[in-house]
Amino acid sequence: MDAAALEAKRNKLWEDYAKTRDPKLREQIILEYAPLVKLVAGRLSMYLGYNVEYDDLVGYGIFGLIDAIDKFDFKKEVKFETYASLRIRGAILDQIRKMDWIPRTIRQKQKKIDSVIKEIEAENGRNATDEEIAKALGITDDEYMEWQQQLLVTNVVSLNEFADQGTEAPIDRSVKQRFDTPEESMLKSEMKEMLVEALSLLTEKENKVMTLYYYEDLTLKEISEVLEVSESRVSQLHSKALVKLKKKMGKYVGVFSV
């Protein structure tokens, strides 16, 4: 089924459901958009590494999809996929936050890394390298990479902030009537400049992972095949790239969320 036919099918489904609120049609809509939950869960799993089971993320996301379906107004000129993605992501992150399962040891590691980075950069007047950070911490480069993988869970907080901001967006406005304000245009321009500078900090492989994942929409498995490395190595490269981007871009690192 081509894109036009798929859109026509979905529009008809929404029209019928808006008129009847038939539970059977609601179930069909859930099944129709279930792949969207898997997409959002897959994106978040890149942040969380192997700390959370992918199937659990999908399970949490389904509740967000159902909530989006129940609250969506088909008459408004807003794409359901955009609206639902925010609800799905928010549901997943809310559930993870409620669990509060981030071990104290991981929080302590984050504080140690932050402290060491500040000391190195204050002394040298430049960004600290991974090797310098590992040496200052008294651990090997491989152990530091493992720490970074574990610390992905701490990104949940910042990701949740972006999810919360997203749900406050004026989704009930007509797309045709929506234009950037001068302030928003300036913000986007500033963010693009920071992004270009931040990407220059990445290694060739880290840049490749970010490009393949966020711009080519390849899966973790597909990227591992392209780069001829393991899926865990791809996840580690993604983690290291995010750490570097976060230091440079601050709050704008949210462009790499779902």
Q: Give the pLDDT confidence score for residue 168 in this predicted structure.
A: 36
Q: Would you write out the chain's pLDDT as a tens digit for each of its 258 residues?
A: 677 888 889 989 999 998 999 999 999 999 999 999 998 888 777 766 656 788 888 999 999 999 999 999 888 878 899 889 889 988 988 887 777 656 677 778 888 988 998 999 899 988 788 889 999 999 998 888 778 766 765 555 444 444 444 433 333 333 333 444 555 555 556 666 667 777 788 888 888 888 887 777 777 788 888 888 888 788 778 877 877 777 666 655 555 554
At 45 the three-state DSSP class reads helix
Domain range spanning residue 185? 181-253
Domain count within the chain: 1
For residue 64, being part of any structural domain is answered with no
Q: Is residue 155 part of a domain?
A: no
Q: How confident is the model at residue 174, as a pLDDT? A: 36
In a domain? residue 242? yes
Token digits of residue 18: 């808006």
Q: Would residue 247 count as lying in a domain? A: yes
CATH number of the CATH domain containing 206: 1.20.140.160
Report yes or no: 109 and 205 within 8 Å, Cβ to Cβ.
Answer: no
Nearest one of 257, 157, 241 to 202, comparing CA atoms? 241
Residue 235 lies in a domain: yes
Q: What pLDDT does residue 162 have? A: 43
Q: What local confidence, expressed as pLDDT, does residue 61 receive?
A: 93
What single-letter amino acid sits at 79?
K
Q: Are 161 and 87 in contact (CB under 8 A)?
A: no
Assess if residue 245 is contained within a domain: yes
Residue 207 lies in a domain: yes
How far is 202 from 200, CA to CA, in rounded Å?
6
* pLDDT value, residue 54: 83
Global confidence as pTM: 0.56
DSSP 215: T
Evaluate whether residue 243 is within a structural domain: yes
Smallest CA-to-CA distance from 127 within 200, 189, 39, 63 is with 200
